[in-house]
Amino acid sequence: MEIRIGIINSGRELNFETSQTAADVQANVAEALERGAPHITLTDTKGATYIVPTAHIGFVELGSEESRRVGFVA
């Protein structure tokens, strides 16, 4: 699943693929924001870890969980 995170006062966005479900990512982000955690940690499919300060999150966009189809559909 693709995740896109907008950072406040930054012209760039953080984009990466993760193996977590959309519900898991949404729950983790919501929990961190509700309890006032200083940061949230997410891991991509290649094993890289991203630490994002919750005070600077502008938005979190969760992509679809379907894998892209390759080839022709008859």
Q: Does residue 68 lie within any of the structural domains? A: no
Torsion angle defined by CA atoms of residues 29, 64, 9 and 28, in that order, rounded to the nearest 10 degrees? 10
Q: How many folded domains does the chain comprise?
A: 1
Within a domain: 72: no
Which of 17, 14, 6, 5 lies closest to 43, judged by CA?
A: 17
- Mean pLDDT per 10-residue segment, the chain (74 residues): 91 91 91 94 93 93 73 66
Residue 39 inside a domain? The answer is yes
Q: 19 lies in which domain range?
A: 2-62
Picking from 27, 17, 26, 12, the residue whose alpha carbon sits closest to that of residue 58 is 12
Position 15 in a domain = yes
pLDDT at 43: 93
Give domain status of residue 34, yes or no: yes
- Return the pLDDT at 74: 60
Examine residue 10 and state whether it is found in any structural domain, yes or no. Answer: yes
Residue 70 in any domain: the answer is no
